[in-house]
Amino acid sequence: MTKEEDWIRESVTFFVAWVICMVLWSIWLEGIFIPIIGIMTTLVFEFILHIFRFLEHGTYMG
């Protein structure tokens, strides 16, 4: 696999796992706002981490 495929697979896996956790947490809390904030915050951090990782390895998608 190329680095781009690894990046996509890792991002999708992380996103799916996080969404499942947030949905379960939402059901447990019987709320929705906190999980949405958690998802958005995590996606932003994940995006920033991937940017730094690509800058570090000298590759870029797109």
- Beta carbons of 7 and 50 less than 8 angstroms apart: yes
Domain segments of the chain as ranges? 3-57
Asked if residues 53 and 6 have their Cβ atoms less than 8 Å apart, the reply is no
pLDDT in tens, the chain (62 residues): 677 777 778 888 888 888 887 777 766 666 556 667 777 788 888 888 877 777 777 655 54
| Max Cα-Cα span within the chain | 44
Question: Could you tell me which residues come within 8 angstroms of residue 28 by beta carbon, excluding any fewer than 6 positions away?
Answer: none
